[in-house]
Structure 1
Amino acid sequence: MRDVYLISGLGADERIFQRLQLERCRVHDVHWIEPLKRESMSAYARRLSEQILAPEPVLIGMSFGGMIAVEISQFRSLKGLILVSSVRYPEELPPYFQLLHVLPIHRWLPYSWLQALGIVLGKWLFGPETPSTHELLKQIIRETDETFFRWAWQQIISWQKPALIRPSLHIHGSRDRMLPICFVKHVDHVIRGGTHLMMLDRADEINPIMQDAIDRCFTSP
């Protein structure tokens, strides 16, 4: 049996992969843990990777989970690394993210305000295509831990370029407003009209692409 580990986006959990269907695979969810005070992304990734017990699995990361997956790939032997709605290194982040260095609202705004802002802007920014996906998005925003949220955003804008192992597959949506595709230097598969939440709304298109990539990861020498 082929082991596949899933790392969801910031604040999300295994629900973001609920429509993922893979054959001949044993799928494991990696659960977020509480970050330590002043912990770096790479140090956090090492602690998180303690949940990855199988030797040489395929690692799938979505959004912030993809960035963590890239960090894990620096010290863990993997059969494959698959990124969805994510980036491989800091240079692919939207330049305007750096405004958070100047105006760090993720650090000093009351968290209830940040949550309200996320709910107001969420439909435009994340692009849910169905009412059920929109409701799940709002639920995720309400449930996201404050400490984790503030820590994660600080890590995103402070991320140092890793010595990257090239992903086996990078899938991105052409209408992703959170991480716009125009800043991403290399994408293997573009989902036309796909948004940041396409892992939910376009799973029928993504599933066969992922299945093919995983099959190749485990059959190549």
Structure 2
Amino acid sequence: MKIYGISGLGADKRVFEFLTLDYEFIPINWITPHKNEPIKEYSKRISTVINTHNDFCLIGVSFGGLIATEIHQLLNPKATILVSSIHTKNELRPMYRWFGKTKLIQLIPSFLFDPPRFIANYVFGAKNTKLLNDILDDTDVTFAKWAVTELINWKHTTPSEYVLKINGTNDKLIPPKGNTKMELIENGEHFMIVDRADEISNLINDHIQYAIKTNFR
């Protein structure tokens, strides 16, 4: 069994370094989106690195959870696990969806998608602020603008019984919401994939073991 991981907006495989998983883990690197590329087409392109000849699982973190959901519909993963993320557009904050309808995001210069570090540290609730800051320093702001645009305009509405969400009760960016099967990390914040890695690792391992034993896919 292989687990393919898709990191958050602008992030990379460093967010997975603190996980302890029982199966082979393969991070998927971001690729550059084409101009005005829809998230479905982007997800199809990025999914070509996945070997579908053997059983596999997906992990998507934050914005990576949207990509994982899109790939979930295209391929046939044994299980899909979303961390600090959403599975349908209805699980997104209404304010975000409203902003998406206004189309005002197109007027925002790309450089503004590089937030001041003290604000980012607060919003993400990061304890490992050095890692978060390093990731933000390496973020492509053009990619970040594309990703936020796709996030607030996402159209997916149909949940899958084969998807598990792991959300933090104190997540300021994406609070727990919706009817998707969900495990809660008490006092977990948006950066908990790093700060609460042990607990999240246990939940991921248990869910994949359950998927294998029950053969529910």
The one of 29, 35, 38 equivalent to 1:37 is 35
Show CA shifts across 1:41-76 (max 9, x none): 111100010011143311011111011100001110
Partner of 2:195: 201
Give the fraction of aligned pairs with identical amino acids, expressed as a percent: 34
Structural RMSD (CA): 1.7
Q: Which amino acid aligns with 2:39?
A: M
Partner of 1:177: 172
Q: Does 1:77 align with 2:71?
A: no
Q: CA deviation at 1:204?
A: 1.4
Q: Does 1:137 align with 2:129?
A: no
Instruction: Report the secondary structure of 1:211's partner residue.
Output: helix
Instruction: Report the secondary structure of 2:111's partner residue.
Output: helix
What does 1:155-194 correspond to in 2, within 5 Å? 155-181=150-176, 183-194=177-188
What does 1:35-114 correspond to in 2, within 5 Å? 35-54=33-52, 55-97=54-96, 98-102=98-102, 104=104, 106-114=105-113
Q: CA deviation at 1:103?
A: 6.8
Distance 1:167 1:62, change over 3 A: farther
Q: Which amino acid aligns with 1:28?
A: I
Q: CA deviation at 1:39?
A: 1.0
For the 8 Å contact 2:160–2:180, the answer to whether it is kept is no
Q: CA deviation at 1:27?
A: 0.8
Q: Which amino acid aligns with 1:196?
A: H
Q: Which amino acid aligns with 1:151?
A: W
Q: CA deviation at 1:187?
A: 4.6
For the 8 Å contact 1:45–1:71, the answer to whether it is kept is yes
Show CA shifts across 1:132-179 (max 9, x none): x21221222221112211111111111112544234421100000010
Q: CA deviation at 1:180?
A: 1.4
Identify which range, 79-88 or 185-194, moves more after superposition: 185-194
Distance 1:70 1:190 in 2: 19
For the 8 Å contact 1:73–1:165, the answer to whether it is kept is no
Q: Does 1:124 align with 2:133?
A: no
Q: Which runs of 5+ in 2 are unaligned?
A: none
Distance 1:113 1:150 in 2: 9
For the 8 Å contact 2:6–2:29, the answer to whether it is kept is yes
Identify which range, 29-38 or 46-55, moves more after superposition: 46-55
Q: Does 1:211 align with 2:205?
A: yes
